[in-house]
Amino acid sequence: MTGDVVLRTLGGLIEDSIRGSDLAARYGGEEFAIVLYHTDGPGAYQIAERLRQAVEDCKVRDKGNVLYVTISLGVATFPHEVIHDSNDLVECADKALYKAKENGRNRVEVFGNSTN
């Protein structure tokens, strides 16, 4: 299935974009979560933007077809004044992700910037 090829390709790009100490996992149907240990907000944004660009530049090949895909990313970091636990962290990253989708997709949004 084409969707599976895209997800495997994205999983490989994510794995290549993070450090061995970080954690990446599929989270829901078409979403991934990435935990970047000891990474501040600007560093997390840079990694997310680098990943966004790598996906945009990637050619996904399936059954002789070449597909171009993009991703939207939401970034949240801890510590933060409204993030007190892992549930808050995931919820805030999700809010930033939806903001990225609302603002046109194929972009990175950071929780706490503007009106997340």
Write out pLDDT tens, residues 32-57: 999 999 999 999 999 999 999 999 99
Q: Is the pLDDT of residue 115 over 70?
A: no
Structural contact between residues 73 and 100, judged by C-beta atoms closer than 8 angstroms: yes
Specify the CATH number of the domain 2-110.
Answer: 3.30.70.270
Write out pLDDT tens, residues 88-112: 999 999 999 999 999 999 999 999 8
In DSSP notation, 51-85 reads: HHHHHHH--EEETTEEE-----EEE--SSBTTB-S
Q: Could you list the active site residues?
A: 30
In the chain, domain spans: 2-110
pTM of the model: 0.91
